[in-house]
Each structure stands twice: as structure tokens, then as C-alpha cells.
Amino acid sequence: MKEIDFEHLEYRQKKPLWKMYRHLYRGGEMLKQNASDYLARRQKEPAGVYQERLGQVFYENYIGSIIDWYVASLFRREPVILPEGDDPAGRKFLSSFIEDCDMRGTTLAEFFRNALRDSLVYGASHAVLEFPRVKESAMTRAEEEALGASRAYLVPYQLDQVINWSLDERGDYEWVVLRTQRTKQTSVSDTRMVEQTRWYYYDRENFQVYQRDVAQDGISLGALPTSGGEIRLVDEGRHALAGERRVPLFSLRAPDGLCLMEKASLLQLEHFNKSNALSWALTLGLFATPVVYTDREWSQVVGEAYYIQLGPNDKFGWTEPEGKVYQIAADNLTRLKEEIYRVCYLMTQAGGPSIAQSGLSKQRDFAVTQEVLRAYGDWVKDAIKRVIGVALAVRKDRIGIDVSGLDEFDLADFTTEIGDAERLLKLGIQSGTLDKQVKKKLAFQFLSDLRQNMKERIGQEIEDGR
């Protein structure tokens, strides 16, 4: 099955970009270890000098902090997900899915927080909706629940793990190929390290899993005798979304034009090179260069452990830069920094800490930033609805969901929210639904860290007027 490892043209074109984006986001030692890919080498620069510059490289990671700020601000309060319907089994599944969406203890809010972060860095993230595969066949819904076969869960995938795909005319997947790799020890007694590669193929109805295990010495490992590096089929069948006639891969793409790393990466690289060039120049400027003015041939060695002998008409002095170019470079770095924040819609944060501001003043300064955060919030809520909606459809649950929140970004005090709600209710609008929705919004905003079952109970009590 050599064709299973074939890579899509778009994948091959963008893979180097995704590597650069990962390094720029992480920074630190990861970027320093790969600094030769990003630190420009001057024309005819001696190899020894370039290696010394690589050893002293540093990175001011503005874009990483900006992306983390957006994610933290959007998820300051978790989204509120409430069921609509009276299906007990569906409500029970929804509650457990929200609290643990990947069968590893990750809440749905945390899962989509990571998805948003990856989307801001790489432009998109992926997740596969899986259902446990059990050997026994369930005859009833109760047996299916008892076997755990209906417990949907999500499996996250990085953008560079989806290596090939095909889309129909509507932009939906016809089939996809995912590739994962990991290195593990063969056993406790056998210290050989094995590189295990897996390929997951999904179409609208079926799945196939291929695997290759290769030890460090190049010998292929596996249950069946194989030649070195042979790819073998280890699992296949119908996947859980076959009844829906759709590939179980969800692509969570950032809104158009709002992939922050794509907008700021070139500016961040320019700042990286300029700041390191200035630092190198300043370092060299600390060591003054001796200058000897003489008409005779000069062959003496100059250094800290040596002395020089001058003739009657010879002169000796030191040279050092005047500093004008340093000021120009420093001003350019400031402008690049401000531009990074500007293209990320955070111009008010470019100049460092500011004086204390009122809530209204903050709202005015962050007007554009708020709109961008709301766009991210709408995207996340829509993605949550799509994922949960498909899971409920596969399970045949008779409930719907409502997703709210992700629209408060700590730009106003909670007392302001309460005051606005009180004034709204005092208008005397004759609507019981309005009264209940306002109370639920305030309650869930204040109690955003409660468990899902408690949120549902509070929401139901407000609906019932208790």
C-alpha cells in the first residue's frame, strides 16, 4: 500500500510553513535549535562568525504572547451548552461529553481552547469523531449504552497529520488520510526503540488502519513476517458516521483573514533578524579597536597580552562607532513591534503598560479587538454545535443544544452587567422568555466554572420559575 503514504500537493507546499509557524509560536530553545533556518547570513560572512552569532541568538516572542492572550481572553468564561429536549439518555451523554470529550479527562471547553490556539497558529486544526468499537453486537439502545458503544469522543490531529484528502463540489470531504508517528521501546527487557507509523483512511462509510513498525536497526517488527518497512493493514470496517454518509473528520478553520500567525510571521522574522543584528553590533562595539597611524610597515601583534612599539612620528588611538546607526536600528525595531501588534488588532498593547482606565475607556480602546474576539467566539460556538450535533444525530438522541457565552472579555466589571440587566428588566417588557434568558445569562456568567450537570439544573429551575 505505497499509495496510502502519498501526500497532497497543498500539504507538501504548506508543510514548511507550518514548521516555521510552530517555531515562531513556541520560541525559546525550540527556535534557538533551529535558528540557522531563520537567522540571515550576511554575504561572504565567515562561517566562524556566523556560528558565533547563532550561539548568541535570542528571540522576542511577541506573536506567541498575542495568540495566548486572545485564547485566554476568549475563554475567560467557558461557553454555556444547554440541552433542549426531554431525552434522558441524550442529556446524560451530553453532560458526560462536555466534562470529558476525549475519554482522557479533557473538557469540551479545554478541547476547543486548544483547537482555537492551533487555528490561530496554523490556520486550522482537525478532530475525528470516534465511537468505541466493541466485539459484541448490541440489539437494543440499552445494550449499546451498557457496552459503551454509543459514547462518542474526539481525537485531535495536528494540521500536518492530515496528509491527503479529496473534497466534493460543496467542499465536504470525500475521503481523508491521516498519518501519525511515535517512537516507543519494544519491551522492558528489549531496549530497542521502534518507530511506529500509522495511516488512517476514512471515506463516507468505511475506515482502514495501516501500520509500519521499524526498529532502529531497520528490521521491521510485527505479528506477521514482513520485509523491512512494509505497510500492513491492521484494522478495517464501517465507521460510526456511515449512516450519516460523511467522513468523521472535522476541520476547524479560523475565520478568513484572522489567522494571526499568517499575518504577523514575516514581521516577527524581520524583527528577529534586526534585533539580533543590533545585539551583535552592540557587542562588538563594547570592544574598541586599536588604530595605529604610521608610514612604516606594521607587523606587530596587538592584544591584551602584548605591547606595541611606536616610532617618534607614529600615533596610536582607538576607534568606536558614533551610535547613529544604533538609534536608527532601535527605532526600526520599535516600529516593527508596533506593526506586529497592529496587524493583530492590539495596537493599544504595543507601547507597554498604560495608566489605569475606566471600563468605558477600555471598551473604546478595545473596540476593534472586541469585534475580532466576537468573531472567534462565533466560530468556536458554531464548531461546538456542529460536532455535538453530529454526535447526537449518530446516537439518535431527540434533543437539541444551545451554545452561548464567549462574548465577555473582561473589558467591563460584572457590576456593570448587573446594572444593565436591571435597567432592561425595569423597562416593563411583557416577556417571560426575556426575563428567564437574562437571568440565565447572568447566572452562567457568574458561575461559569460549575460542572455541566449543575448548570443544567440551574437552567431548568429558572425555566420552571423555581
**Domain range summary for the chain, segments of one domain joined by +:** 8-123+258-288+322-411, 413-466
The stretch 390-407 carries a mean pLDDT of 88
Answer yes or no: are the C-beta atoms of 367 and 60 closer than 8 Å: no
3-state DSSP assignment of residue 353: coil
Percentage of the residues of the chain whose pLDDT score is greater than 90: 43
pLDDT for residue 407? 78
Q: State pLDDT tens for residues 111-154.
A: 999 999 999 999 999 999 998 887 767 666 677 777 777 889 99
Given a cut of 90, whether residue 349 has pLDDT beyond it is no
The residue ranking higher by pLDDT, 321 or 29, is: 29
Distances (CA, A) of 369 to 238, 356, 362, 375, 411: 45, 19, 11, 10, 11
Least confident of 245-249, 402-406, 413-417: 413-417
| pLDDT tops 50 at residue 225 | no
Q: For 52-61, 73-82, 237-246, 353-362, which range has the lowest pLDDT when averaged over its residues?
A: 353-362
Task: Check residue 405 and give its pLDDT.
Answer: 82
Q: What's the pLDDT band for 388 if we cut at 50, 70, 90?
A: very high
The string of DSSP codes covering 160-182 is GGEEEEEE-TTS-EEEEEEEEEE
pLDDT (0 to 100) of residue 227: 40
- Determine the pLDDT at residue 427: 74
pLDDT at 210 over 90: yes
Per the DSSP assignment, residues forming a β-bridge with 403 are 81
Mean pLDDT of the chain: 82
> Residue 180's closest CA among 201, 207, 205?
201
Phi (first) and psi of residue 63, to 5 degrees = -65, -35
Whole-number pLDDT of residue 285:
75
Q: Is the pLDDT of residue 15 over 70?
A: yes
Classified as helix, coil or strand, 130 is: strand
Lowest mean pLDDT among 30-44, 190-204, 305-319, 387-401: 305-319
Q: How far apart are CA 205 and CA 233, in angstroms?
A: 18
Q: What is the pLDDT of residues 357-366, one digit of tens each?
A: 555 555 555 7
> Over the stretch 290-346, which tens digit does the pLDDT of each residue have?
677 777 776 767 665 566 667 777 776 766 666 677 888 888 899 999 999 999 998
Q: Degrees (nearest 5) of the Cα angle 282, 277, 36? A: 135
| Residue 355: predicted pLDDT | 46
